[in-house]
């Protein structure tokens, strides 16, 4: 799927499409340059799930836990500040990734070898300042 958007007002339809295409997968990895809108898209996905918490990038905490309208956990990761893969082991990434709960992962490049095979990948490209192209598999 591919969406070309010119406004954040269009993100709810993209978020719904991502959730609809997720199937049995529970991990979504987001790829895009700094400032592409990964956290903003994750916020839209959480809104669609009925998350009442404030969704912010867990840059320093590495992971934030939210709860959807059905009280299911939603884990939001930001691996940008990971310097060594051992740091992911230190906070117990396996407990999250293999929990079956939804995991939304920013900067998966930092922990590439730990990402399971069955994930959805979302690519966010910035062809122009106010335009985004969002693709997912």
Please spell the DSSP secondary structure of the chain, one letter per residue: -EEEESSGGGHHHHHHHHHHH-TT--EEEEE--TTSSHHHHHHHHHHHHT--S-----TTTSEEEEE-TTS-EEEEEE-TT--STHHHHHTTHHHHHTSSSEEEEE-GGGGGGGS-SS-EEEEEEEEETTEEEEEE-
Domain CATH for 78: 3.40.50.300
Does pLDDT of 130 surpass 90?
A: no
Expressed as residue numbers, the domain containing 55 is 2-136
pLDDT score, position 59: 81
Q: What percent of the chain has pLDDT over 90?
A: 93
| pLDDT grade for 15, boundaries at 50, 70 and 90 | very high
Task: Say how many domains are in the chain.
Answer: 1
pTM equals 0.95
């Amino acid at each position: 799927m591919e969406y070309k958007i010119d406004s954040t007002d269009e993100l709810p339809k993209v978020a719904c499409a991502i959730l609809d295409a997720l199937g049995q997968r529970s991990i979504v990895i987001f790829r895009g340059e700094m400032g592409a809108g990964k956290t903003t898209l994750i916020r839209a996905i959480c809104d669609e799930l009925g998350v009442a918490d404030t969704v912010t990038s867990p840059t320093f905490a590495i992971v934030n836990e939210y709860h959807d309208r059905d009280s299911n956990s939603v884990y939001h990761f930001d691996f940008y500040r990971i310097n060594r893969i051992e740091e992911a082991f230190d906070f117990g990434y396996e407990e999250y990734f293999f929990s079956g709960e939804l995991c939304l992962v920013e900067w998966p490049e930092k922990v590439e070898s730990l990402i399971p095979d069955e994930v959805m990948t979302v690519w966010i490209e910035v062809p122009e300042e106010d335009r985004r192209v969002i693709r997912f598999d």
